[in-house]
């Protein structure tokens, strides 16, 4: 037993995006700026939703604030580590640090998928049942929906991690990715993991596919319902839904691709990892702020209030 314990590895080696020093410096600058933009953009949305009284009465922005918080969290789990690794010759992460990274990635990722469904339901009620919108989407319903999304994410990650943390790792410890990717880490275990690999693929793939299908159905029903009304109603609906549909496509496209693509490609896996942890959290606040007039108005109001308070003092 002592011999077995002494042979257990205590860390994993992450190969990252490249081993070329010039490219690592280039990527360091690019991803440092990207992470700063991610934090600034999503934090701006959270602040606007929190500080602007006009947005408090609109349930969509409460959900949008939670989406931005999840985006910041997902990026923070992976991006700072990736940025600092660009300056290190040996890129390592502790065994339990790797487990924590995988736990929170699947926890927050599952929560975000579910939250996007809640946002689709919110848009359906707002567009198709506008007279009952405020009564249906009450504060209690909103908080309950957000808590449900977190609960789904927790069940999703626990259903995989409860088996992963008990695996023995005593052999190879090299993960060819920018962070601890669950399917890649499982393959390094010193035991048969075929069933667990199938479980991970089925669990994550089924959750992604189910959520994406429900979202597709929801937005289709909205457009069909509005189409039966006026052409002006369709135009307003398309304007309202365009940002949501774009975000959904950006989030679920790479996620489904990772778990359903039949051909394994390490370069494609790394690209999708970067897309999922950096590009999507970066684009979400851009989409919602640049295409949303109410958000622009809220920023203008907060800026005016801040300027007025400075002049007062």
Residue with token string 């040996």: 90
Mean pLDDT of 203-232: 81
**Do the beta carbons of residue 163 and residue 182 sit within 8 Å?**
no
Q: Any residues with CB less than 8 A from the CB of 24 and at least 6 apart, and which?
A: 16, 17, 18, 86, 87
Give me the percent of the chain exceeding a pLDDT of 70. 85
What is the tens place of the pLDDT at every residue in 253-289?
766 666 566 555 556 778 778 888 888 888 888 887 7
Q: Which residues pair with 174 in a beta bridge?
A: 13
User: Cα separation of 64 and 119, whole Å?
Assistant: 8
What is the tens place of the pLDDT at every residue in 79-128?
999 999 999 888 899 999 999 999 999 999 999 999 999 998 998 888 88
* Res 235 pLDDT > 80: no
Mean pLDDT of 228-256: 69
What is the tens place of the pLDDT at every residue in 137-181?
888 999 999 999 999 999 999 999 999 999 999 878 999 888 998
Query: What pLDDT sits at residue 264?
Result: 57
Residue of 291 and 85 predicted with greater confidence: 85
3-state secondary structure the chain: CHHHHHCCCCEEEECCCCCCHHHHHHHHHHHHHHHHHHHHHHHHHHHHHHHCHHHHCCHHHHHHHHHHHHHHHHHHHHHHHHHHHCCCCCCEEEHHHHHHHHHHHHHHHHHHHHHHHHHHHHHHHHHHCHHHHHHHCCHHHHHHHHHHHHHHHHHHHHHHHHHHCCCCCCCCCEECCCCCCHHHHHCCCCCCCHHHHHHHHHHHHHHHHHHHHHHHHHHHHHHHHHHCCCHHHHHHHHHHHHHHHHHHHHHHHHHHHHHHCCCCCHHHHHHHHHHHHHHHHHHHHHHHHHCCHHHHHHHHHHHHHHHHHHHHC
Mean pLDDT of 194-206: 88
User: Cα separation of 146 and 64, whole Å?
Assistant: 11
């Amino acid at each position: 037993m002592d011999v077995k314990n002494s042979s257990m590895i205590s860390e994993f080696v992450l190969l990252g995006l490249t081993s070329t020093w010039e490219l690592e410096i280039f990527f360091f600058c690019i991803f440092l700026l990207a992470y700063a933009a991610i934090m600034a953009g999503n934090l701006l949305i959270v602040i606007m939703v929190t500080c602007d009284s006009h947005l408090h009465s609109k349930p969509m922005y409460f959900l949008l604030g939670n989406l931005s918080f999840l985006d910041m969290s997902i990026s923070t789990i992976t991006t700072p580590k990736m940025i600092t690794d660009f300056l290190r010759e040996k890129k390592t992460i502790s065994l339990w640090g790797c487990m924590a990274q995988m736990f929170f990635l699947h926890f927050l990722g599952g929560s975000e998928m579910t939250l996007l469904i809640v946002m689709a339901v919110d848009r359906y009620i707002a567009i198709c049942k506008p007279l009952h919108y405020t009564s249906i989407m009450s504060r209690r319903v909103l908080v309950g929906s957000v808590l449900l999304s977190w609960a789904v994410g927790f069940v999703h990650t626990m259903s995989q991690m409860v088996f992963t943390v008990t695996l023995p790792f005593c052999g190879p410890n090299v993960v060819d990715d920018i962070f601890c990717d669950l399917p890649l880490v499982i393959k390094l275990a010193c035991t048969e993991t075929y069933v667990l690999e199938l479980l991970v693929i089925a669990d994550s793939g089924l959750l992604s596919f189910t959520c994406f299908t429900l979202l597709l159905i929801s937005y289709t029903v909205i457009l069909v319902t509005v189409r039966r009304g006026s052409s002006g109603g369709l135009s307003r609906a398309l304007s309202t839904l365009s940002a949501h549909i774009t975000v959904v496509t950006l989030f679920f496209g790479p996620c489904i691709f990772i778990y359903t693509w039949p051909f394994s490609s390490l370069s494609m896996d790394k690209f999708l990892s970067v897309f999922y942890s950096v590009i999507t959290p970066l684009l979400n606040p851009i989409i919602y702020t640049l295409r949303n007039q109410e958000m622009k108005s809220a920023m203008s109001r907060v800026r005016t209030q801040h300027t007025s308070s400075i002049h007062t003092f």
